[in-house]
Amino acid sequence: MAKVLKDLGIDVTVGGFLGKDNQDGFQQLFSELGIANRFQVVQGRTRINVKLTEKRWRSDRFQLLRL
């Protein structure tokens, strides 16, 4: 949602909790997109959700957890 708003020319800030162990990719993406980030970095990893869509636009959601 933040990316869509930014693409529409609206300044946005994202926030929440971000796992220290895999924060770099998230931080880099926010920077590249010009999205202000106010995440609190905490111990552990941030869960990553992946959504696969086929040609008929049906989709499946997967949650990737690394424990």
Our CA angle for 53, 44, 27, nearest 5°, is 60
Per-domain residue ranges of the chain = 2-64
**pTM (global) more than 0.75:** no
Pick the range with the lowest mean pLDDT from 11-20, 26-35, 47-56.
Answer: 47-56
Q: How confident is the model at residue 65 (pLDDT cuts 50, 70, 90)?
A: low
Burial class (CB in 10 A: 0-12, 13-18, 19+), 60: exposed
